[in-house]
Amino acid sequence: MQRLTLAKALDLINQPVAEGAPHKAIFLACGFTPLHLATFLKAHGRARFPGSSVEIESGLFDDLAGSLERGAAQAGAECVALIEWADLDARLGLRHAGGWPAPSLFPDIEREVASRLERISAALGQTAVVAVAGPTLPLPPVGITGCAQDTAFELRLRSLVDEFLAEVATRPGIRVVSQQELALVSPLPGRLDLRLTLAAGFPYTLPHADALAGLLIETLYPGEPKKGLITDADDTLWLGILGEVGVENIAWSLEKHAQPQGLYQQFLGALAERGVLTAIASKNDAALVQSALARNDLLVPASAIFPVEANWGPKSASVGRILQAWNIGPKDVVFVDDSPMELAEVSAAYPDVTCLRFPAKDPQALWDLFQQMRRLFGRQQIQEEDRIRVASLRSDAGPLPTGDDFLERLQGKVVIDFSKDPANTRSFELVNKTNQFNLNGRRWTQGEWLAMLNDPQQFVATVSYEDKFGPLGKIAVATGRVKDGALSIDTWVLSCRAFSRRIEHHTLTRLIAHCSAERVVLDYHPNARNGPVRDFLEQILESPPSGNSPVEFTAVLYAAHCPALPHAVVVNEVGIGEAVAS
Amino acid sequence: MASVDTIGTWDSVAHVTLLSLIGEEFAIDIDFEEFAGATSFPEILERVRAVTS
């Protein structure tokens, strides 16, 4: 996370923005004067989205819940909600004159805190996407014991807040800032600016405001998670050089003084379970590596590792073959090796691969490695499609033959679902990470996506596929609207795992039929990666699309160029609403 | 000379921001009560010199 001084933050904010640049609106709900927090939020927002304008709107002083309720009305805006102790009971703040919280007031304060949390919880229920933080400031010294000892009253207050945060963290769109991470970047003693609290109603020191703003922006707009991890084997996945000590003597246990490798294997197993692709790139004898992976005490499932590149050639060549097998780009991959030379060799060949050193001789650094990997692979939800991704990759034998006979023998079934469920984040994930069959490369924030789901004039078609080789899960999404006999599609993505099955043809054919559309209007924008969309359009138009959005053609023209559709199609119309007439 | 009377955008928020910037730049603790009456460049400069001397 980038750290900013106030001067640097103001510099960032004052950089000019081009006319028509993308715009981010963030609603800040807090009970204190926003002051430097608003400045740092805007600056971190500008740093996160270079070239975009960022506006921070804030609510009413001393009314957090009321501000949240007002913020809920801002369609399409993301929200930040900061809860400090003074917001839960003014007697826990420092700008009140209601008397220091004496023990006789403790029961009333607990009731007030519980009541305020309920109101905030209800207000959060009406908002789209919210990053929630707090309390970040220490409780005032209200306990009757010495400072070294917590009182039951203080513990109950923190418990009320913890229960509240644990509950709201389960709601779609609500993200809670990590107190642990905040403690790392902004230690507790350096957070409160009592002088500024009393002078201007702003309680944070500059470093704390900066750190908190940075984490809030990171929470509100998390980066795209990496998709794959390529690991070295000797002295990384296991302790020892396999070719020297043999299969039985490589180790990953506490007894064999190899617990770092054991922890690393367990970490990889957990990543694999949630769908992170895992592969090995090792300078080794292939048969020996297979024997090592067949050991029944391995802590990462061998079935989760695919492919295994064990050979004596350059590791960059192994990495290249792994990228091809996964069909993902270098920027989506992390490579871990204990050898600085191997890391440099791979990095020189693939500068976009994130290269991390496995700290073979420094267990303390292992903690930092795990934290870094959590950051790189962090995501909001685990999808069923992620779990089946490795299995489907193993069963893929490269691009499918495309003959009609072969496709018919697949016994394929395409399911088109028009339901709009905010809790189903797979569609949102697909539109934001698919590059090749992507109509225009548009990326959505979660707030924009939720606002679109709430628009009855917009349809969302989520497409799933399965055949005799197994399910691929949800692999395509199209959004748009129907007007005056025209089917307008403004977002359309298809996972590259589902290529060569004519799913795009099935999708468009069914959408045209459902809308009784006479024309199709596609918001197509060519870019460096969406060649498959160009090829699809060229098949229909009989010439390359001009590249000037939109691309239009009649339903009749499409039907004349649409190949045979080999699969069964099931349509779930629940939620189809006004958007698509059947 | 810059002052609240000559710069239209110099309001209370800008004043606190300016003082915070000065505190950050010169690594000094700003007593906001003491600087509250410093509403021009010369007045602020005088108080900063007093704190840093």
The last residue of one of the domains, among A319, A348, A379, is A379
CATH of the domain at A500: 3.40.630.30
- Tens-of-pLDDT digits for all 582 residues of chain A? 889 999 999 999 999 999 888 889 899 999 999 999 999 999 999 999 999 999 998 887 788 888 887 776 665 568 999 999 999 999 998 888 777 788 999 999 999 999 999 999 998 876 678 999 989 999 999 889 999 999 999 999 999 999 999 999 999 889 999 999 999 999 999 999 999 999 889 999 999 999 999 999 999 999 889 999 999 999 999 999 998 899 999 999 999 999 999 999 999 999 999 889 999 999 999 999 999 999 999 999 998 999 999 998 899 999 999 999 998 899 999 999 999 999 999 999 999 999 999 998 888 899 999 999 999 999 888 877 777 776 777 666 455 555 677 778 888 999 999 988 887 788 998 999 888 899 999 988 888 898 888 898 899 999 999 988 788 889 999 999 998 889 999 999 998 878 888 999 999 999 999 888 999 999 999 988 888 899 999 999 988 888 777 999 999 999 999 999 999 999 987 655 555 543
- Chain B residues whose CB is inside 8 A of the A195 CB are 29-32
Domain assignment of residue A386, yes or no: no
Same-domain check for residues A170 and A89: yes
DSSP characters for A557-570? Answer: HHHHH-----SEEE
Domain that holds residue A247: 228-379
Q: E strands, A169-249, where?
A: 174-176, 228-231
**A246/A199 same-domain check:** no
φ and ψ at A221, to 5 degrees? -130, 70
Q: Does A299 touch chain B (CB under 8 A)?
A: no
Q: 């033959």: which residue's tokens? A: A401
Asked if residue A350 belongs to a domain, the reply is: yes
Residue A566 resides in a domain: yes
Which residues of chain B neighbour A206 with C-beta distances below 8 Å? Answer: 20, 24
Q: Residue A434 corresponds to which tokens in the numbers above?
A: 């698919």
Cβ distance A6 to B32 less than 8 Å, yes or no, reads no
Query: What dihedral angle (degrees, nearest 10) is formed by the CA atoms of B9, B15, B21, B26?
Result: 130
DSSP E strand stretches across A391-485? 413-417, 437-438, 459-467, 470-483
A202 touches chain B (CB under 8 A): yes
Tell me which residue of A31, A444, A30 sits closest to A41, measured CA to CA: A30
CA distances from A184 to A58, A157, A206, A379 (A): 27, 23, 16, 21
Please state the domain count of chain A. 3
Q: Please give, rounded to a whole number of angstroms, the shortest distance from the CA of A52 to a CA of chain B.
A: 24
Cis peptide bond N-terminal to A550, omega within 30: yes
Kindly state whether A199 is in contact with chain B, defined as any CB-CB distance less than 8 angstroms. Answer: yes
Q: For residue A578, tell me if it sits in a domain.
A: no
Alpha helix locations (H) across A49-135? 64-71, 85-88, 106-124
The ipTM estimated for the assembled molecules is 0.85
Of A379, A413, A442, which residue constitutes the final position of a domain?
A: A379
CA dist A3 → A185, A212, A222, A249, B16 (Å): 9, 10, 17, 46, 21
Report how far residue A163's alpha carbon sits from residue A160's, in angstroms, rounded to the nearest whole number: 5
Partnered with residue A26 across adjacent β-strands are A56, A78
| Beta carbons within 8 Å of A312's beta carbon, 6+ residues apart | A283
Residue A300 · residue A261 · CB < 8 Å: no
Say which CATH number the domain at A96 has: 3.40.50.1110
Q: B9-53: per-residue pLDDT in tens?
A: 888 889 999 999 999 999 988 888 888 788 889 999 988 888 888
Look at residue A395 in the predicted model and tell me its pLDDT.
65
